[in-house]
Structures are given as C-alpha cells and as structure tokens.
Structure 1
C-alpha cells in the first residue's frame, strides 16, 4: 500500500503532468493541433491570431486546476471558465473539437496511460459546462 495521493488529490495531478513545464508542453501541443486539425477550424476562429496570451492563460489555469500553484489567479485574477466562454455560441460539436485537440495533445505527452485517461475524463467536465453556459446565455437572449 502506498501513501502517495491519487490523481485529483493534493498536487498529484500537477506532479503527474510534469509541473508547469509539462503543462506548457501540453498547451503548446494543444494549440498546435488546433492550428492544423480541420475539425478544430471553428474553435480556432474563436481565438485571436496570436495565441501567446491564450497559451499562457491556459497553462496558468491548468496549473491551479491540477493542484499546483494558482498561477492564473496570481497573474490574471479569478475566472469562471463557463461564464468566460458563454460569450461565444459554443455547442456540443465545439466542445468535442476542443476535447479532440486536447486528446491529441495528451497522447503526445510522456505520461502514464492512467494519467492520460484521468485527465481527459476530467477535462470533459468543464467542456460540457462551457456548452451549458453558452446555451443558457443564448436562451436568456431570446
């Protein structure tokens, strides 16, 4: 038996990702996929041409979300991912494209298969919440 925390406990997920360096590699791969994968064309158009700020913000967010330093909050302040994304008409296909980019980026990482599976399952939750927030905002505007 081990005393090592499981993914989602303390900073175990952050450590499994390789800390901020591993997270930045994931984010770089994620946006590289988004730039080149035809299925991601619509979500890529939701981003500015220069992805540098988006790369930093996603890396900082994932750091805290995975149990590491709360770099996003320290640098940019607090954020509600669903509320922030509600300004775009994001639907289920967009969330699936986003997750597809993330799945391909995760596959490129030198992580254990168990952590890769765990992370993709966890990322599906905020992806679905973003869709729900966008749908709620659209319904409120009608």
Structure 2
C-alpha cells in the first residue's frame, strides 16, 4: 500500500520509478568509473533498484518483502565505493531524474535523499 502524500505517489508511482531506473542504468552501464563495480548484465541490479526505490520513496515495501531489511551499507560493502564513484553514481542519477521528467520539488527531494544514501555507502578512500 502506498503512503498517502509520499514521493512515490506524487511522482506517479511505479511508472515513474521504472523510468528513473531505466534512465539510470542506461548511464551506469557505460560510465567508466562505475563499470568496474557493476555486473555486465544490469537486469537483476535494475530490478532490485526498482524494488528499493519503490519502498524508499513511500510505495509498497517490495524490497523488504522479497529481500528483508534493506541494510544498504552492508549490502554494498563488497564494492569499493570511493568519493569519485559516489559522485559518478549521483551524476547518473541526476541525469536519470531529468530524463524521467521528475519535476520539482520532488526531483530535489529525491536527489537530496539519494545524496545522503550515497554518502553513507562510501567505504573506500580514493
């Protein structure tokens, strides 16, 4: 069930999340800083991201239902996430939000929330 007044609901629900994820992984798959830490086939990664973003922005708790508590930092520890890779990830996400036509104030709110998350995922110095 969607939380009334959630970002998920405000941006258009599942369709908007799908547009964001598709635009995002189109960029990740060719970004020289990100290619080393992502699988060649991004299908499953994109599917998990869809589950996570749906839940993260107030939609149905799809990620937790399938995979348990998100524990995002723990799940990302095997990957060397440097400040440069964080910045590359955020660059791809910012462009994806633009391509997916997510309007303000939601675009800014999403980007701020994901910036906090990306900062928390860093685990390796340059």
State if a TM-score over 0.5 links the two structures.
Answer: yes
Taking only aligned residues, the RMSD between alpha carbons, in angstroms, comes to 1.7
Q: Which has the higher contact order (CA 8 A, sep 6+)?
A: 2
- In 2, the alpha carbon distance for the partners of 1:88 and 1:28 equals 22
Change (3 A) 1:116 1:41: same
Structure 1 gaps of 5+ residues are: 1-8
Which consecutive aligned stretches of 4+ in structure 1 deviate over 3 angstroms post-superposition? Answer: none
Considering fraction of residues, name the structure with more helix: 1
Aligned partner of 1:85 among 64, 76, 100? 76
- Measure how far apart 1:10 and its partner are: 4.9
| Residues 26-54 of structure 1: per-residue CA shift (max 9 Å, x gap) | 00000011123xxx312122111111100
- Correspondence for 1:100: 91
- In 1, the alpha carbon distance for the partners of 2:4 and 2:82 equals 32
Residue 54 in 1 paired to residue 48 in 2?
no
Residue 63 in 1 paired to residue 54 in 2?
yes
- In 2, the alpha carbon distance for the partners of 1:111 and 1:16 equals 10
Which is higher, the Rg of structure 1 or of structure 2? 1
Q: TM-score, normalised by structure 2?
A: 0.88
Q: TM-score, normalised by structure 1?
A: 0.79
- Correspondence for 2:15: 21
**Mean alpha-carbon deviation: is it higher for 43-52 or for 101-110?**
43-52
- Correspondence for 1:76: 67
Structure 2 gaps of 5+ residues are: none
